[in-house]
Structure 1
């Protein structure tokens, strides 16, 4: 960043952009009031008056990058990069805004600066972390503009322009109707604008907004989309033990699941921490691949995530302690909890770093099949020498492996650059996809051989008619992605198919055992 635009005192850097083509005007008065409020809050403020800048409003080449910026626009672009917070003040003419404001956005929100196109054809905003306020004047009551006309200008600015580039609009102040408004009313609007500028002393977000945003970030970091399978497998193990012992301890059941939940939370948090180098390089991330990205997108800090790891481990330890007390005399309980903790954290955390050595996929499959089923089984008084938990876990392990392997394929290039030698890195994307399909097909074959074992109590009855069509679907989607050379792109559809495939191996036994 140009040194001329560095903040001198570490305060929030605020850029006020006046979009009205004429001055003086009500909008220019609002811009001055907003600027005075921000200055009173001891913030660093700079202002751009679009009416005072000489520039061509139209983009003439195919791409705006090919059109040289006029000095005023070059200066404005540097200020946009400099700013932490940007406020646009303009009249909503024809429901949208002045042509000068639209032309300004066309010229300065450049590809490679404000956004970029990813390899998979999707777009990514490059101005993330910045916030915005919008102050607009209307010739109609604000409620009419919002509810009758559905606020077209606000939506265009908030979502299509600023949001597309990664800027989060925190507040929209709509003022009107302007026509025939009394001086007293205009004075009230000016005070509102000044107050909005002054409110930045506590940040662009209100306390409620900050709390909600932080809560969403923690939920995103937890990656809750992967937890139902853990619960399902754990419950299958618990019901299997209760079926034999005819003893069901509800308190122990929920305590055991809470222990696993907090262990899984600590595991996904450590994954984000130790996979940061790979995640920040990843251009093919999606809801099921590439981590939660809370660190990459700066939704959470490393310090906050470290606190989350510690708190999750403390909660898991507390639940484990209660379990050991309640199940005193069962020496298998602390052993299985310790093994699950080591394998969970060892997925990416040193010294094991199993995912970095090509063992992460097997680790996840083991913990989410044998591991959680044995926990549910042992916590409800089951014996390790009983064949039930071992037999029912084997097909589940084979069903989990394809999803874990496939999830590593879009991350292949980023992992390779970061020095993370996953199974996909060792085999290559094509062979890894083939192995995933072989394992997916092996799961129902194993079921075919073991489903009539007395120890399983008919848990797999009715499973094959459900999973066999699913295997063919997985094979088709994988072949299509491979033939179209899209395996290393985002494969959200294939990931959904592979993850829902796992569900059958937990849901069918669960329904039989309940």
Structure 2
């Protein structure tokens, strides 16, 4: 079993991809192997020039072509290794034919990856847990290869080949330009290659730390927090304008609670949606969760602990807010109600999204409710109609976006009885509903401008939102004409999410 990339690699396979073993690449391979042994690693070397194999795939699939004994041994060595080192020259910007043919034959389905027969865009990475290092020689100066040619060989190996099969991270060292280099320069390069192995454990630890930090950031899904902040701030600023009261302390304590509430909501969604996330073949940046649990990037127990920590932090924040309000009054009660609504999206016993109320819940908590709480914390006045009027177009636009986001998840959500509008109405019905919500938001915004609710110069910006609304409607109609397939709709989602910004930014600018 290969070691995790978070652990210190112990077994290194050095693969020389140059067709001449006595080349400078051969010397680099020897220097790296010697340095690795000196650093305590177990090292094996594979010179492709000494192998006997057909480099061309002659059958419809590489798996159908019998492996020569040397290639079968190569696969066994790759399975054995924790860390793969490829040493080769970049010829015509990319790999030598020998190395390319080797990879074509060795990285076969069932060994390096497993394709999904029903969905070719989905595959399993079977070489996970291994890292790699590319030692590449160039006659082109490194800066020219990077800036002018965009490193085609590096990109192909790191992403399209090794990354496709799950090998990560892949470090790259380039030695260039080789042709005019002096003996002294080449000696320094050989010393550098020998030192690379000694740096490997530290590099892997740093990468593991950054990867885990990135996974936690993806879990938090910070890209969705600004709209809740905008809605909350609209309420607070409106309260200051209408009631003449604004407390910075209350504002920031309230927003701290709102932030922790949103963080707890997205983390708990990830926990309770593991069933649908694992089934989801169309997850994207705007739907399907962060996938850090579905893809095994974070341990479930750690995510569960994070949920508990966030719940405790939210409790402490609400306690501090209540003490600052003195007396707490309706503001704290409204914040508690907002927390229950937000977290109850997937958390039992409410599980609102499983009861057909998920879209309504998200629309409310990111428009009316956040605006209402922002104002109520400042004034304690709950009968002011302004937050409800100001929140209506934002509510409709948010409802459109959240309805669209469930279209790619339709099959997975239906399989676990998650009752989104896409499941209840079907993809076509939900797409039409999202279109109607988007048009209604634009109509409401124009009406509010005419009535003076979206007042001043900033209010005129609502007319700039109309072309945006037309683009969104056209994109949804195109999706419907294609039969409303269950697929990623990143372009439509980008339009929908940027569209709702109009209905938050226009009142925010007006009130600032």
Cα distance, 1:298–1:47 mapped onto 2, change above 3 Å: farther
Cα distance, 1:55–1:472 mapped onto 2, change above 3 Å: same
> Which residue is equivalent to 1:333?
331
Q: How many residues align?
A: 506
8 Å contact from structure 2 (residues 158, 170) kept in 1: no
> Which residue is equivalent to 1:59?
57
- How far does residue 43 in structure 1 lie from its aligned partner after superposition? 5.2
8 Å contact from structure 1 (residues 120, 284) kept in 2: no
- Distance in 2, matches of 1:176 and 1:457, equals 61
> Which residue is equivalent to 1:254?
252
RMSD across aligned positions (CA): 3.6
> Which residue is equivalent to 2:504?
506
- Distance in 2, matches of 1:320 and 1:153, equals 54
Moved more, 149-158 or 381-390: 149-158
Give runs of aligned pairs for residues 312-391 of structure 1, distance below 5 A.
312-391=310-389
Cα distance, 1:184–1:231 mapped onto 2, change above 3 Å: same
- Distance in 1, matches of 2:450 and 2:149, equals 64
Give runs of aligned pairs for residues 284-295 of structure 1, distance below 5 A.
284-295=282-293
Give runs of aligned pairs for residues 24-63 of structure 1, distance below 5 A.
26-35=24-33, 37-38=35-36, 45-61=43-59, 63=61
Cα distance, 1:187–1:68 mapped onto 2, change above 3 Å: same
Gaps of 5+ in 2: none
8 Å contact from structure 1 (residues 11, 42) kept in 2: no
Give runs of aligned pairs for residues 406-445 of structure 1, distance below 5 A.
406-445=404-443
Gaps of 5+ in 1: none
- Distance in 1, matches of 2:366 and 2:180, equals 68
- Distance in 1, matches of 2:343 and 2:471, equals 33
Q: Secondary structure at the match of 1:380?
A: helix
Deviations 1:143-184 (A, max 9, x none): 676567665433432344334444334422233565697887
1:173 aligns with 2:173: yes
Moved more, 15-24 or 62-71: 62-71
> Which residue is equivalent to 1:131?
131
Moved more, 169-178 or 398-407: 169-178
8 Å contact from structure 2 (residues 454, 506) kept in 1: no
1:275 aligns with 2:300: no
> Which residue is equivalent to 1:195?
195
- Distance in 1, matches of 2:148 and 2:434, equals 53
- Distance in 2, matches of 1:312 and 1:444, equals 37
- Distance in 2, matches of 1:344 and 1:35, equals 56
Q: Secondary structure at the match of 1:377?
A: helix
TM-score normalised to the size of structure 1? 0.85
1:72 aligns with 2:75: no
- Distance in 2, matches of 1:490 and 1:393, equals 29
8 Å contact from structure 1 (residues 416, 425) kept in 2: yes
- Distance in 2, matches of 1:401 and 1:118, equals 35
- How far does residue 238 in structure 1 lie from its aligned partner after superposition? 0.8
8 Å contact from structure 2 (residues 368, 387) kept in 1: yes
> Which residue is equivalent to 1:481?
479
- Distance in 2, matches of 1:497 and 1:149, equals 33
